[in-house]
Amino acid sequence: MPATVHHPRLPRTFYQRGSVMLARALLGQKLVHVVDGERLAGIIVETEAYLGIPDKAAHTYRGRHTQRNHAMWCDGGHAYVYFTYGMHHCMNVVAGHEGDPIAVLIRALEPVEGIDTMRLNRTASSGAALTTLCSGPGKLCQAMGITRRHTGRDMVNDPELFIERMRQRPYPASRIAVSARIGVAYAEEWADEPLRFYLKDNPHVSKR
């Protein structure tokens, strides 16, 4: 019985760039969470870039540095996971370098490994269909078992939470759709910036 061949983990340098470039480059890569020895994994199909200190939609707007958002100030490749609306977790991948609080929100996955477990993790009936199992930032965290306890993990060497390289080059721009970010209407002129990226025609993105 040959061991399953896994793809290589993304190195530090992959993450150490601007959040718009990282948001595009993460599309098509595989997010993995190992739970009790089982791999739960999905292909990233939707992301949003958060631009840090000048960005009115970002948790680090005006240089805010709090207990909650501390991970955003760490080096690229760390996870920033926060809890919101009293119910949901959202996961970000920190971009850039230590001291520059920018990040990419993971908004949707195409489930590929551990799908039965992911279904058990999801409470709502909407999680039954494959295309709505991970089609939103809160849904994918619930399905993958990602919570606040993962915030600050360094995905370059964490044994449980990491991202594997599935493509050497980012998708060409012709394959990526761009829109305003979701749920940031409060952010005034930043609400309409084209900072959401998703794979065209992919059925697993949010806002079906």
What span, in angstroms and rounded, lies between the C-alpha atoms of 93 and 206? Answer: 18
Report which residue type is found at 151: T
CB-nearer residue toward DNA: 67 or 168: 67
Buried residues in 38-54 as b, exposed as e (16+ CB within 10 A)? ebbbbbbbbbbbbbbee
Measured from the CB of residue 62, what is the shortest distance to DNA in angstroms? 8
Please report, as ranges, the residues that interact with DNA according to CB under 7 A: 48, 50, 57-60, 64, 66-69, 72, 80, 82-88, 90, 92, 103, 105, 122-127, 132, 136-140, 148, 181-184, 186, 206
Cβ neighbours, 10 Å, residue 132: 19
What span, in angstroms and rounded, lies between the C-alpha atoms of 135 and 80? Answer: 19
User: In sequence order, what are the residues at sequence separation of 6 or more whose Cβ sits closer than 8 angstroms to the Cβ of residue 188?
Assistant: 56
CB-nearer residue toward DNA: 12 or 68: 68
Measured from the CB of residue 169, what is the shortest distance to DNA in angstroms? 25
CB-nearer residue toward DNA: 84 or 167: 84
CB-nearer residue toward DNA: 8 or 86: 86
Measured from the CB of residue 29, what is the shortest distance to DNA in angstroms? 17
Measured from the CB of residue 132, what is the shortest distance to DNA in angstroms? 6
Measured from the CB of residue 97, what is the shortest distance to DNA in angstroms? 17
CB-nearer residue toward DNA: 82 or 171: 82
CB-nearer residue toward DNA: 148 or 167: 148
Is the C-alpha dihedral spanning 200, 204, 205, 208 positive or negative? positive
